[in-house]
Each structure stands twice: as structure tokens, then as C-alpha cells.
Structure 1
Amino acid sequence: MAEYIDASWPGLSNGATRAERRPCDYRAYVPDPLVGRPLRLSGQRSADIGDVERRLLVLNMSERPLVGLEALARLLLRAEAVASSFIEGLQIDVRCLAKADVAARSGVEAHDDTARAVLGNVRAMESALKLADASSIRVDDVLELHRKLLEGTRDAPLGGLIRTEQNRVGGTGMSPCTADFVPPPPDRVPDLLEDLCAYMSGDDHPALVQASIVHAQFETIHPFVDGNGRTGRALIHLILRRRGLATRFVPPISLILASHANAYIAALTTYRYEGDADSPEAQEAIGICIDRFIADTARAIADTDRFGMELDALEAEWRRKAGKVRAASSVDLLLRMLPSAPVLTVTTAAELIGRSVQRANDAINHLVAAGVLKQTTIGRRNRAFETPDLIKALTGFERALAGPLGDTRQAPPTRPVPYRDRRA
């Protein structure tokens, strides 16, 4: 039975304010376990779930006219990781992140803490997708995912460690008494995580339902000191890949969740019912959370499809600029993979197309001469190349998903967004 537990806060002897130093009482929420929890879906809700699941399958099976799904998948994974980081207040523009990514791949030391944190989110997303083939999901898998998220950041020592103290969400000051939400006491967390992983390993409910419930439950447990939101959103990718709905890529659901932040938080708050899980109130609370997730997934699918068409048009323009290109040549392969690489070096281009460094260099020179690529640097003087049209398109995509109308020029964004780069 889900319940609130009354607890006392002793106060902080070194608190900055009197409120932080003063003892007080608070209530910590303990959710019902997921395994065996009853769930009743209305006919309308089931129909909506089935419709969005079919649309997600079609999106993953479709063949784009030009841009390969592999390239689109890489780009969307990056966009999703950036969006998940934006929710946590980690803001970085497209060009800076792309340069930091290439620098890391090339062994060039980077000094941008924000870039390292966001790249950690990319690694966490990639790790989540690799878990999809495992026979079951274990707590150790989730801990490893969290460790990769914080790897290379100042919070790396906290990576993969379950919290041993009471944490809180929102509010002011260091006291849980003023928090918007207080997660379960630390002694309840290990069992709740075991139950969460057991539920993730099963298939009792439709995939989108499972993803929404796992995400809500994980954010409710809040098992880590930091990185809970980003880890919880990575689990969405894991489930949708594991259940076969997103075999090639997951649309950027986090971008939409962040754009509807008030509704998203309201849904998570509603999910935290009290009492019997079989009660009408509990069932409706879970249903509201599922509805929010389904609606945002549908929007992410539609926007991804439009973005794919924009990239197709972009590649067609690149090919027009490049002139006649022999099929399966290094230039042809690079043009096809270019949407996944806003910034690259000769070495990363060679890895991307599976050709020698010399062939990759020749292809890059061809595209620089055609005006598709532009030379830049990473670090102090390491040569690299950027795709200005792609940087502009990706920035526009991330901005568009931040507004209720899909265009920040028609309606202001509802969350932080990357600036339009006038150099692109």
C-alpha cells in the first residue's frame, strides 16, 4: 500500500539560515511495488496506446529517401541526451557539444564541465540501449548506467552509488521540510530498485505503458544523490528498444517532456497516490501519468518524421553542391553519414564510413571545396570540419520542440533552448 511516512529532520548545525538549522517534521513517500500491481486500462486509453505504438513501429521500419536511419538514430540519440540534460539545467549549444564530442574521441583534452556532463548523458543513453539484449535487467545494470552518466564530471565519485541519506526534490534550502517532494527513506530504496528491475525485465503491460510507469516509479524512488532525471529518461530508451518498439531509434521524448514541464511534473505528482493500488483513485492516477507519456511520445514521433524529411532535403542540397558522385564512393558514404556528425575530423570520418584515412581526407577535401563542410579547430590547433547547414538544422529542431506550436517564432519556448547560431 502506497503511503507517506512521517519523519523528523534534526536540522543542520551549519545551516545558512535559521530554517535550515531548525528541526522540523516532513513526510516521505513510499510507492507500491510494481510487480503484481494491478492495472486497468480503459478502452479509450488502450486504443490510444495501440495507435502510438503502431506509429512508433512504422517510424522505425520506414526507409528514408536519402538520410540513412543509422545516421538519423545517432543524431536523435544525441538530441535526446542534450534535451534530458537541459531539463537538469545543463545548457550547451550544438556546435560546442559537437566539438567537445570530437575532441573526446580524438584524445584532445577538454575543459568544459557542461560538455563533459552532457556527453556523459550520451554515454548513459548508449549504455541503456546496449542493455536491451540482456535476458533480464539487474540493479547492477542501472548502477553502471548511472556511473557512465557521471563519468568524467566533478560528480563522478557519486556514480553508481545508491544514496544512504534522505534526499528531496524542489523547494528551498537544504531541509526536506520545505521540499516539493520527499522520496522514500534510504532504507527502502534497495528493495524498491530490485522490484523496479524485476518489472523492467517482464512484459506484463504494453511497452509504452511499461516505459511510462518505470519512468514515474524511478523518479519517485530517486535512488541517487544526483542524475536521477537523466538516468530515468535513459530507462525509457532501454524499455522501448528491449520491447521491440524502437529497434533502430527512439524519438526525442525528453525534448517533449521538457517542453510540457508543468504537465509532466503534475502527472508525476498525481502518480504518487495513497492507499490501495486497486482503488479507483490509484488507477486513475496511474492512467493520467500514462496519458501524458503517450501524448508526448506521439508528438515526438510526428516531429521526428518531419525532421527526417528536413534532413533528406538537406542531403539532397549537399549532393547538388558536390556534383556527380560515384555510388559507394567515399564521398557518397560521407554524404550519407554526415547528418550524424555536425563536426568531424579526418580520423572520425574514416571510422564513420569504414574507409582509410586517406580516402576520408579526399572525401572531406571534396566537400570543403563544394561548400558543404567548413574547416574549424578543436582544442588549440587540431584541424576539424563542421557542417554549418546541419548545425543550423539541429539547433532549429531542438528549438522547435521547446514550444507548444513546434516553432519558437510563433510561440515562445517553455524551457531553455540552444541559441540560434548566426555563424551557421
Structure 2
Amino acid sequence: MAEALNVAERLDGAAILAMHRTLMADHMPSAAGRWREEAVWIGGSARSPHGATYVAPVHTRVPDAIDDLAVFMAREDVPVLAQAALTHAQFESIHPFPDGTGRTGRALLHAQLRHGGLAREAIVPVSAGLLTDTDRYFRALSVYRDGDAEPIVVEVADAVFPALASSRRLIADVSDTRAGWGERIRARRGAAAWALADLLTTRPVVDVRLVADRLGITTVNARLAVDRLVEDGVLTQVGNGARDRVWQAAEVLDAMDRFAARSRHRVV
């Protein structure tokens, strides 16, 4: 998701394709970064849209529909949160990809919040809040397609505030963990182990190659830094293999697990 946001310097069709390519390259490389070329629908059967609750626009209309959506995203006379909610509903209605529309739509939602200045660094889990009550969420999308935009704006707005609170809690938990490491790490000041400790707050699972690359040090020094933090109880090895070893900062992962659990439960 972070990489998808990084490619979204502009909110337009090219950025959306780049997001999809980043998110889906490993899952469906032949279709990643390309608009769909087939019909899609919700409900009915896999073979026919007969009885479907919604049929998306014919695939030949997708590029123009996305261009029209990009014009809306560029407007500056709509409040950012409402604009992001309406963009999300319209994007899901266009359904521009055969697979990955949902995750690309979530990336687009976060990109809008970032471009609008509502989120500068963290990815606020708004989309997770939307999906805590899927029936209500899908009803909001359905009535949007019938011409009533208010419910989906309310849904997104209601998802934002608990998401912000959960994100702040995560930041506090990780900051407290990092502060605690400061009393346990026995490396000299300026040693690579301290830079590795900082890295672990955002990348809690590492191997020697990643540490060397991110810190700009040799693999020998990276291994020494890892060994130091293992001895000081900050890192633990994942598994017992002797090759391709990976280490994790369990305390940061625990904080992230609590964050994920909170994101799935929205207070109503």
C-alpha cells in the first residue's frame, strides 16, 4: 500500500493504473496495470449477470469514466473527506479492474486524504472501518448508485475518527516500545544497532540484506547490528533455519496486531 501511494503523485488514470500494477504485479501479472476488458457484475451467477444486484459499465467506457472521475478529484470546491467518499463510491461503481478494484480503491482513498492534507505520513485505516459493517457499507453504495450520495459520505466520515484514534494509539505504542529499547541496548552511541532499532519501528521484520540496504552499511556490519539486538532482547529469529534467516521485533508486531484488531471493530 505504501508503494502504491508513492506512485500516486497525481490523482489521474495513469496513477490509478500504477497503483494497480504495484498492488497486483505478483498476483495477476498479465492484467496488472490494465483496465478490464470484460463485463463485471455483483450478484447473480459467475456465468451470467442475470439476477445481479449491480452491473458495472461496459468495459469500453471505463477509460472515459476514469477520466471523468479524475476531473472530479481535481476539484477544489468540495470538502476533501466528502470528495474522497464520493470518489470511492464512483470508483467502485466503475469497477475498472477484473480483480484488485477493492484494494486499488482503498489506495486511492488514502491517496486523496494525503493529497488533500488530511493525512501526511501514516495510512489511516479508513477502509478497514468501512468494512466493519459490510451490509451497511454495501447499502450505502447501492443507494449512491440510485442517486443518494449522503449515506456513503456518512459511512466514510464515521470510519475516519476511530481510525485516527487507533492510528494515534499505534504511534504511541511503538514510541513507548522504542523508548524501552533505549534502556536495553548496550551498543555504543552511534553504532549501527541504534539505527537498526529506529528502522524496526517501521520495518519490524528484517534480514541482513534489508538492514544493509536501508542503513547503507556492509552486510558484515548489518549482521553485527542484528546480533547486538538479538542479545539485548529486541530481535528474535523467525524459525530455526541456518540460511536466509529473518528476525522480528515481536513487540512492534504485537502493537500492530492490536492495531489491526481495533481497525476491525468500529464503535457505533
TM-score between the two structures when normalised by the length of structure 1: 0.58
Q: Is the 8 A contact 1:209 1:290 kept in 2?
A: yes
Does 1:290 find its partner at 2:164?
no
- CA deviation profile, 1:354-413 (whole Å, cap 9, x unmatched): 44433322221111001111123699831221122222222222122212459xxxxxxx
Judging changes above 3 Å, is the alpha-carbon distance between structure 1 residues 371 and 128 closer, same or farther for their aligned structure 2 residues? Answer: closer
Q: Is the 8 A contact 1:378 1:384 kept in 2?
A: no
Does 1:146 find its partner at 2:30?
no
Question: Hey, what does 1:353 align to over in structure 2?
Answer: 215
Report the secondary structure of 2:174's partner residue: helix
Does 1:128 find its partner at 2:5?
yes
Q: Is the 8 A contact 1:374 1:388 kept in 2?
A: yes
Judging changes above 3 Å, is the alpha-carbon distance between structure 1 residues 343 and 138 closer, same or farther for their aligned structure 2 residues? Answer: same
Pick one of 370, 391, 395 that aligns with 2:257: 395
Gaps of 5+ in 1: 1-121, 274-281, 407-424
Taking the aligned partners of 2:43 and 2:23, their CA distance within structure 1 comes to: 22
Does 1:258 find its partner at 2:131?
yes
Taking the aligned partners of 1:331 and 1:324, their CA distance within structure 2 comes to: 7
> Which amino acid is 2:232 matched to?
A
> Which amino acid is 2:72 matched to?
Y
Pick one of 62, 65, 72 that aligns with 1:192: 65
Question: Hey, what does 2:31 align to over in structure 1?
Answer: 158
Taking the aligned partners of 1:190 and 1:323, their CA distance within structure 2 comes to: 57
Report the secondary structure of 2:42's partner residue: coil
Report the secondary structure of 1:259's partner residue: coil
RCO higher in structure (CA 8 A, sep ≥6): 1
Q: Which has the larger radius of gyration?
A: 1
Q: Is the 8 A contact 1:129 1:237 kept in 2?
A: no
Does 1:376 find its partner at 2:238?
yes
- CA deviation profile, 1:65-107 (whole Å, cap 9, x unmatched): xxxxxxxxxxxxxxxxxxxxxxxxxxxxxxxxxxxxxxxxxxx
Q: How many residues are treated as equivalent by the alignment?
A: 268
Pick one of 166, 177, 185 that aligns with 2:50: 177
How far did residue 171 of structure 1 move?
Answer: 4.1
Taking the aligned partners of 1:324 and 1:381, their CA distance within structure 2 comes to: 26
Report the secondary structure of 2:222's partner residue: helix
Q: Is the 8 A contact 2:5 2:111 kept in 1?
A: yes
Q: Is the 8 A contact 1:343 1:386 kept in 2?
A: yes
How far did residue 205 of structure 1 move?
Answer: 1.1
> Which amino acid is 1:314 matched to?
T
Taking the aligned partners of 1:303 and 1:190, their CA distance within structure 2 comes to: 36
Judging changes above 3 Å, is the alpha-carbon distance between structure 1 residues 209 and 404 closer, same or farther for their aligned structure 2 residues? Answer: closer
Taking the aligned partners of 1:207 and 1:150, their CA distance within structure 2 comes to: 27
Taking the aligned partners of 1:388 and 1:140, their CA distance within structure 2 comes to: 38
Task: Let me know the Cα RMSD of the aligned residues.
Answer: 2.4
Taking the aligned partners of 1:143 and 1:401, their CA distance within structure 2 comes to: 27
Pick one of 195, 208, 215 that aligns with 2:81: 208
Question: Hey, what does 1:246 align to over in structure 2?
Answer: 119
TM-score between the two structures when normalised by the length of structure 2: 0.89
Taking the aligned partners of 2:209 and 2:101, their CA distance within structure 1 comes to: 35
- CA deviation profile, 1:120-163 (whole Å, cap 9, x unmatched): xx3xx42333323x4xx43233223222222122x221222322
How far did residue 337 of structure 1 move?
Answer: 1.9
Judging changes above 3 Å, is the alpha-carbon distance between structure 1 residues 347 and 324 closer, same or farther for their aligned structure 2 residues? Answer: closer
Judging changes above 3 Å, is the alpha-carbon distance between structure 1 residues 245 and 256 closer, same or farther for their aligned structure 2 residues? Answer: same
